[in-house]
Amino acid sequence: MSTSTQRLFSKVPRAALLLCGLIMCLAGVAGALDPSVISGTSVLAPDGITSIRVDFGGFHLGLGLFALYGVAFPSFLKPGLTAVCTTLSLVVLTRLAGMGLDGVNDAQTTILSRELVPFVLSWIGLLCLVRQPKPAIPA
């Protein structure tokens, strides 16, 4: 692999985590302000609305801020990507399992497509980070 290609691939993990962090923060703010926008569901009871705000607001915002912390501090790049990859992998798997068990509608398909973007970005970032050549240790 050429030096310029290595340099390009060395920037991918940080860029991927930055995009994931921004997407998750945006989703978190949107979910906290208007739960129906991000969840695709309408709940009338106050406790239901609050639960959706927490699940789609606080959860996404917390993960997004952790990802952005990983961008700001290089020692947290790998933990940030690992946390985002692990969490979003489980979110996507749970969504797919739920669609298989409960049936599919347009709202679920839309939400899944939104979840797949940071999911794919985080995996690309983590794979590029893991595949970076290790610096040679001087003898």
Are residues 27 and 64 in contact, defined by beta-carbon separation less than 8 angstroms?
A: yes
3-state SS assignment for residue 92? helix
Asked if 60 contacts 35 with a C-beta cutoff of 8 angstroms, the reply is no
CB 129 within 8 A of CB 78: yes
Task: Identify whether 135 is part of a domain.
Answer: no
Which residue range(s) make up the domain with 93?
Answer: 12-130
Residue 6 within any structural domain of the chain: no
Overall number of domains in the chain: 1
Amino acid (one-letter) located at 42: S
Number of Cβ within 10 Å of residue 30's Cβ equals 17
Would you say residue 93 lies in a domain? yes
Q: Do residues 53 and 37 lie in contact, with contact meaning Cβ atoms separated by under 8 Å? A: no
For residue 137, what pLDDT is reported?
A: 73
Question: Is residue 125 in some structural domain?
Answer: yes
pTM: 0.84
pLDDT tens track for 33-76 = 887 777 666 666 777 788 888 888 899 999 999 999 999 999 99
State the DSSP code for 139.
-
Q: Is residue 3 part of a domain?
A: no
Q: pLDDT digits over 104-135, tens only?
A: 988 889 889 989 999 999 999 999 999 887 76
Residues 12-39: tens digit of each pLDDT: 999 999 999 999 999 999 888 887 777 6
Alpha helices in the chain (DSSP H): 3-33, 35-39, 46-53, 59-72, 77-102, 106-130
